[in-house]
Amino acid sequence: MMKISFKKYSLLLLFLNCFFAFAQEKENRTKYFPNKEEKVVTIPNKSKVWVFMMAGQSNMEGRGLVEPQDTIANDRILTINSNNELVLAKEPIHFSTPAYRGLDCGMSFANELLKSVPKDVVILLLPTAVGGSPIEKWIKDLPHRKINLYSNFKEKLELGKQYGTIKAVLWHQGESDANAAGISNRDQNLKTLFASFRKDIGNEKLPILIGEIGSFSKEPQLWAEINKANYKYIQDDKYADIVETADLKDKGDKVHFDGESQREMGKRFAAKYIEKFYK
């Protein structure tokens, strides 16, 4: 019989433990993912469709735990699938990085917004966020996780123009730029990127809502500096505003908002849009 050394045995056990832990995490993460996609049969009147671009990195892409309440479809809340076809929105909305998919703030944002808008308005959520993406990669249209960030954004916004009116960009990003260079360049980077958003969307007054990055980081001072730079930016941009998140919680990894916090953040994005930009 072949003998296994204690060291090899320990490594084998470690590997098996990691494998089963990964499998369990994946099972929990995808447990309530919807198993049925509902394509939109009747395209709504373009004049009634309000389009919101969801952009940034992982906390906009979504890492929260999806629960049954997040997958209840509403024929007034639409999104797209990976083939750019209109579908009834259900979490998870983002699909570009399947291995990381989770709950984002999209459905809670849309459901909250519907409470305040005309009864015939349809909301179209267009997902463009990619986890871990620095802002300069967006500006330079560089690939991140095999996705050219700005090209992907432009492709989705052209869909938005086809189906309705682009009302705002929901932006949550900054964790990847929480370093000396990222902080010092933050104000100019936001100016450059948001000017591009507005130019390509064709609206120099387009509202852009910026979500604060979390207060739960292992490097709280650096993350706080990113938020401080965001606040500095909006002093000179009256069509941008901040959505506060300081009291929201992470899912245990000190990086990503948990499911409850994602739902609350979506409500706050909606409340800020109504308060500041809805007329």
Q: How confident is the model at residue 28 (pLDDT cuts 50, 70, 90)?
A: confident
CATH class of the domain comprising 38-277: alpha beta
Q: Give dist(CA 258, CA 64) in Å, integer.
A: 5
DSSP string, 121-177: -EEEEEE---TT--HHHHHTT-EETTEEHHHHHHHHHHHHHHHSEEEEEEEE--GGG
* pLDDT for 146 beyond 70: yes
- Look at 10-19, 159-168, 193-202, 220-229 and tell me which has the smallest mean pLDDT: 10-19
Q: Over the stretch 31-63, which tens digit does the pLDDT of each residue have?
A: 999 999 999 999 999 999 999 999 999 999 999
Q: Give dist(CA 200, CA 248) in Å, integer.
A: 33
Q: Give the chain's mean pLDDT.
A: 93
Q: Over the stretch 104-117, which tens digit does the pLDDT of each residue have?
A: 999 999 999 999 99
Q: Which residues is 240 bridged to in the sheet? A: 208
Q: How confident is the model at residue 5 (pLDDT cuts 50, 70, 90)?
A: low
pLDDT score of 11: 55
Domain ranges of the chain: 1-30, 38-277
pLDDT score of 16: 43
Give me the mean pLDDT over the 128-156 stretch.
Answer: 98
pLDDT score of 183: 98
Residue 166 CA: distances (Å) to CA of 56, 65, 160, 208: 17, 28, 6, 11
Q: Give dist(CA 45, CA 49) in Å, integer.
A: 7
